[in-house]
Amino acid sequence: QVFRLEEYKPSAYRIPRLELDFRLDAQETLVTARMQVERAEGTDVGTPLVLDGDGLSLVGLAVNGEPAGENGFEALPDQLTLRDVPAGDHFELEIVTRINPSANKALMGLYVSSGVFCTQCEAEGFRRITYFLDRPDVLSTYRVRMEADRATAPLLLSNGNPVENGDLDGGRHYAIWDDPHPKPSYLFALVAGNLGVVSDHFITASGRKVALGVYVEHGKEARATYAMDALKRSMRWDEERFGREYDLDVFNIVAVSDFNMGAMENKGLNIFNDKYVLADPETATDMDFANIEAIIAHEYFHNWTGNRITCRDWFQLCLKEGLTVYRDHEFSADMRSRAVRRISEVRTLRAHQFPEDQGPLAHPVRPRRYREINNFYTATVYEKGSEVVRMIHTILGEEDFRKGMDLYFDRHDGQAVTIEDLIACFEEAGRVDLTQFALWYHQAGTPNVIASTSYDEQAKSFTLELEQSVPPTPSEARKKAMHIPLKFGLVGPNGEDMDWASADGAEISGDVIHLRERRHTISFKGIGQRPVLSLNRGFSAPVVLSEQVSSADRYFLAQHDSDAFNRWQALNSLANEALIEAANQARNGTVPGFDDELVSFPAGIAGDETLEPAYRALAITPPAEADIAREIGGNVDPDAIHRAREAYLDAVARSGATQMASVYDALADDGTFNPDAGHAGKRALRNVLLGLLMRAEGSPERGVVQYRSATNMTERLAALMEVTHRFANSPEASELLADFEGRYSDNPLVMDKWLTTQATIPGDGAAARVRELMKHSSFSLSNPNRVRALIGGFASGNQTGFHAADGTGYQLLAETILAVEELNPQVAARLAVTFRSWRSLEPHRQKLAREALATIAKAENLSRDLRDIVDRTLA
């Protein structure tokens, strides 16, 4: 079945009120749902009421307090149809279902994770709990009563505010929660179990006191304090930056160890993958801390962008996700270094969204069709969706953007709306026409922009030719010209931006060129000296930019551009071009060679005290193998890319070892740990230098020393990675792996790092190594974090291993996908996405990858999730 945007119809019935009663039991939970149903205007009297279900078994059904007659309804596992609908405008429906939470391995609906009852209802998990109008435009107020064993589940949480609790016979107890804010069913949540808590409170701008709780397994409370701190900072930031206050008396976060995604924004009760809550210096890396801060913020910000204002239907997913990612990006930029965050965001976008947009799974930010909505929680909806909001900000400017957001909150509070509704607010606030701009939501594919410049000294004019095109994608064969806002500067010989007397050929407002036609020839007049163009500053538009630029100009920008992002971009482009060339050489059997200037540049940056360390770390890090493969685009040979990149790093290491060694020593940690961005940046730089120095020294020794003396996970794990990846079969590598296992075998999240480290050791035998690790006691096919760490780490983080020329990597992935599929279709479908770029491989690997995909495709009874991904990938 295919769902289409244009087929949207408002619901024939509404359910303004829902009362739920849970008799919690691991194997046999009884759910009673009493709902007030209203016939919508325009619905004929007697129209059957059709409710969604998923694998449900009905225990009882009553209409207006009377058991429903046998012939008045039909109950199937996936649908309940009430044919005898009372004639009045509204009636009460009571449904009793029985479910088995401990048998729920798909982790959708109500399930048990490490003895804790929890729920995940987005997108369509609520229908695995009871029959309901499980669609985001049906909003209800909820009252939830739950009872459970007091001993195993002393804690009973749901959405909203707690209203009552007490003891029952037989060692049981109950609690009642009430949520005054109408919400769609996907935001329902319940947690029952025995957990420890970190408690705190927050006073909102208007003086309301909110009780805060972060719930984690007993004994892990100390690892939840950073999350609590991030939550309080998020709450304050949303008030200050967007004028958004929290709206309940309590806000709870619960960490669970079995979770399909990162986290979930259920009203007043966010449920998190514990990976994104638990952190301390000994067990979490700086990246973990940064992710926790960002995801805590993301889920909290959903309270307004998602919960108070939600989506009319799932085609509008980016309405809440793109906007909320934009908000969490801005939060992280304010908490940390804006420039460094921007570079990381763009790297993520290019690594995940670009290949999606350029492959068989490409879809518009707002899709028009889907078979399985779970497969649309994508980098396109989230990350490109955020970039689109960022462009609206660029077009409107801060003041009008904020007015547009205020209007949106004002006008649509309590509603389920569409992208058009959001855009209309910005058009009104900014008095602009966003019709053409809206193509960013409707047209898939990464736009290409080609730029070339010329300078006429006589006429003192600088000419910029720009050409845009969007490649065809499965959603649209022919593309319209887009409105692309490109921030820019003309950098003069002294490094400062030059002014111009006049410009024609495109609309230019401030430092933004508005590209609207396929071709623009822009000429800037009154330019006394040849400038160097800095285009798409801050990555203002998510496009692939091809520029005819000399290396000299790139080096100039790398040193002098006032825009930090483009300084980084200039270096990145230089390295990219050299690596692509080197990969060609490696493929032809020649030893890859590099310019002295290029390979000596990093050492200079490493010691440049005028730059923040985190930025230096990013600038020195060359594009990843997967990035180079994406830039090459077709007929890709991962082995050649690997050899080229290794040769480049070796050359960089040789050229600046002495200089880098002194920077490395100067960055030594004083033993006190601070997770903030400044300190994290120093560790990041030191770790990049560690890898280069180990190359220069040709010995694992420095890594072993750093591993042994490390006082935090960031330094210890980096050392482990360098030693095991660079000296894979050395005694040092086995020694450190054994040591790591010994230290952390009781901590599954840290053992995930151990699994990933080994899954990403490059070269032959990688698949066999992963197969061995699948037998290790720390691995489990049913836990999504374990699967992502080992199998996901291998398939997306080990280019030479996964793409081994003998096909063992593809076979392993296909087999594992089919094994995971039996337990958890969503996780299986996610893994299958790693095949998406198979067509850009060289012919031999292409054939092997297609065969592996075909094995999956011909398996019987595939889930909708996996079937959808495999079919589209092969199409």
Backbone φ, ψ for residue 835 (5° rounding) = -85, -5
Name the residue with tokens 């995971």: 820
Q: Which of 123, 466, 575, 862 binds ligand ARG (CB under 6 A)?
A: 123
Phi/psi-derived region of residue 712, left when phi > 0, alpha when psi is between -120 and 50, beta in every other case:
beta
> By C-beta, is 119 or 358 nearer to ligand ARG?
119
Q: Check if the beta carbon of residue 298 is closer than 8 Å to that of residue 263.
A: yes
CB of 702 to ligand ARG, least distance (A): 40
CB of 266 to Zn ion, least distance (A): 11
Which of ligand ARG, Zn ion, none lies near 720, with the C-beta cut-off 5 to 8 A by kind? none
Per-residue buried b or exposed e for 767-799, using 16+ beta carbons within 10 Å of the residue's own CB: bebbeebbebebbbbebbbbbbbbbbbbbbbbb
Query: Packing angle between helix 317-335 and helix 385-412, nearest 10 degrees?
Result: 100
What is the per-residue binding string for ligand ARG in 297-316, x denoting contact by CB under 6 A?
Answer: -xx-----------------
Nearest CA-CA partner of 649 in 736, 582, 561: 582
CB of 132 to ligand ARG, least distance (A): 17
> By C-beta, is 268 or 602 nearer to ligand ARG?
268
Catalytic-labelled residue, pool 19, 122, 217, 299: 299
CB of 260 to ligand ARG, least distance (A): 6
Q: Check if the beta carbon of residue 64 is closer than 8 Å to that of residue 94.
A: no
- Stretch (H or E) spanning 508: strand 507-509
Q: Find the binding residues for ligand ARG in span 746-805 (CB under 6 A).
A: none
- Coil, strand or helix: which one is 393? helix
CB of 198 to ligand ARG, least distance (A): 21
Write the CB contacts of 184 (distance below 8 Å, at least 6 apart in sequence).
135, 136, 137, 138, 139, 140, 310, 416
Q: Give yes or no for residue 377 binding ligand ARG (CB under 6 A).
A: yes
Q: Give yes or no for residue 122 binding ligand ARG (CB under 6 A).
A: yes
Q: Find the binding residues for ligand ARG in span 694-713 (CB under 6 A).
A: none
CB of 266 to ligand ARG, least distance (A): 9
Instruction: Give the rounded distance of the alpha carbon of 822 from its chain centre.
Output: 25
- Cα separation, 656 vs 660, whole angstroms: 6
Dihedral sign for Cα atoms in the order 506, 510, 511, 512: negative
Q: Find the binding residues for Zn ion in span 311-350 (CB under 5 A).
A: 321, 324
Q: Check if the beta carbon of residue 492 is closer than 8 Å to that of residue 510.
A: no
Which of ligand ARG, Zn ion, none lies near 52, with the C-beta cut-off 5 to 8 A by kind? none
User: Which residues sit opposite 512 in a β-bridge?
Assistant: 487, 509
Which of Zn ion, ligand ARG, none lies near 712, with the C-beta cut-off 5 to 8 A by kind? none
Q: Is residue 299 annotated as part of the catalytic site, yes or no?
A: yes
- Coil, strand or helix: which one is 387? helix
CB of 469 to ligand ARG, least distance (A): 32
Name the residue with tokens 């080994």: 758
CB of 326 to Zn ion, least distance (A): 11
Phi/psi-derived region of residue 510, left when phi > 0, alpha when psi is between -120 and 50, beta in every other case:
left
- For ligand ARG, how many residues bind (rule: CB under 6 A)? 11
> By C-beta, is 176 or 323 nearer to ligand ARG?
323
- Cα separation, 288 vs 290, whole angstroms: 5
Which of ligand ARG, Zn ion, none lies near 636, with the C-beta cut-off 5 to 8 A by kind? none
CB of 379 to Zn ion, least distance (A): 13
> By C-beta, is 277 or 848 nearer to ligand ARG?
277
> By C-beta, is 383 or 631 nearer to ligand ARG?
383
Which of Zn ion, ligand ARG, none lies near 778, with the C-beta cut-off 5 to 8 A by kind? none
Q: Give yes or no for residue 605 binding ligand ARG (CB under 6 A).
A: no
Which of ligand ARG, Zn ion, none lies near 263, with the C-beta cut-off 5 to 8 A by kind? ligand ARG
What is the per-residue binding string for ligand ARG in 253-282, x denoting contact by CB under 6 A?
Answer: --------x-xxx-----------------
CB of 321 to ligand ARG, least distance (A): 6
User: Which residues sit opposite 525 in a β-bridge?
Assistant: 461, 502
Amino acid of residue 173 = H
What is the chain's alpha carbon radius of gyration, rounded to the nearest angstrom?
Answer: 28
Q: Which of 217, 221, 258, 321 binds ligand ARG (CB under 6 A)?
A: 321
Name the residue with tokens 């949303």: 238
Show the 3-state SS of 328-377: HHHHHHHHCCHHHHHHHHHHHHHHHHHHHHCCCCCCCCCCCEECCHHHHC
> By C-beta, is 107 or 770 nearer to ligand ARG?
107
The count of other CB atoms within 10 Å of the CB of residue 710 is 18
> By C-beta, is 123 or 425 nearer to ligand ARG?
123
> By C-beta, is 176 or 269 nearer to ligand ARG?
269
Q: Check if the beta carbon of residue 543 is closer than 8 Å to that of residue 447.
A: yes
Q: Nearest 5 degrees, angle CA 623-CA 629-CA 631? A: 75
Which of Zn ion, ligand ARG, none lies near 396, with the C-beta cut-off 5 to 8 A by kind? none
> By C-beta, is 298 or 702 nearer to ligand ARG?
298
CA-to-CA separations, 802 to 356, 582, 791, 795, in angstroms, rounded = 18, 22, 10, 5
Q: Find the binding residues for ligand ARG in span 32-71 (CB under 6 A).
A: none
What is the per-residue binding string for ligand ARG in 216-255, x denoting contact by CB under 6 A?
Answer: ----------------------------------------
Which of Zn ion, ligand ARG, none lies near 274, with the C-beta cut-off 5 to 8 A by kind? none
Nearest CA-CA partner of 725 in 657, 646, 661: 646
The token pair that represents 801 in the structure block: 């291993």
CA-to-CA separations, 81 to 17, 48, 72, 136, in angstroms, rounded = 19, 7, 9, 20
User: Which residues sit opposite 34 in a β-bridge?
Assistant: 19, 94
Which of Zn ion, ligand ARG, none lies near 816, with the C-beta cut-off 5 to 8 A by kind? none
Which of Zn ion, ligand ARG, none lies near 261, with the C-beta cut-off 5 to 8 A by kind? ligand ARG
CB of 298 to ligand ARG, least distance (A): 6
The token pair that represents 386 in the structure block: 């955020």
The token pair that represents 528 in the structure block: 């006394």
What is the per-residue binding string for ligand ARG in 79-118, x denoting contact by CB under 6 A?
Answer: ----------------------------------------
Which of Zn ion, ligand ARG, none lies near 330, with the C-beta cut-off 5 to 8 A by kind? none
Q: Check if the beta carbon of residue 90 is closer than 8 Å to that of residue 38.
A: yes
CB of 325 to ligand ARG, least distance (A): 8
Which of ligand ARG, Zn ion, none lies near 122, with the C-beta cut-off 5 to 8 A by kind? ligand ARG
Nearest 10 degrees: CA dihedral of 103, 107, 113, 118? -110
CB of 263 to ligand ARG, least distance (A): 5
> By C-beta, is 718 or 820 nearer to ligand ARG?
820
> By C-beta, is 215 or 377 nearer to ligand ARG?
377
> By C-beta, is 271 or 486 nearer to ligand ARG?
271
Residue closest to ligand ARG when measured from CB atoms: 377
Half-sphere exposure (Cβ direction) of 846: Cα atoms closer than 13 Å: 11
> By C-beta, is 383 or 627 nearer to Zn ion?
383
- Cα separation, 324 vs 749, whole angstroms: 27
Which of Zn ion, ligand ARG, none lies near 280, with the C-beta cut-off 5 to 8 A by kind? none
By the criterion CB under 6 A, which residues form the site for ligand ARG? 122-123, 261, 263-265, 298-299, 321, 374, 377
Q: Which residues bind Zn ion (CB under 5 A)?
A: 321, 324
- Residues noted as catalytic: 299
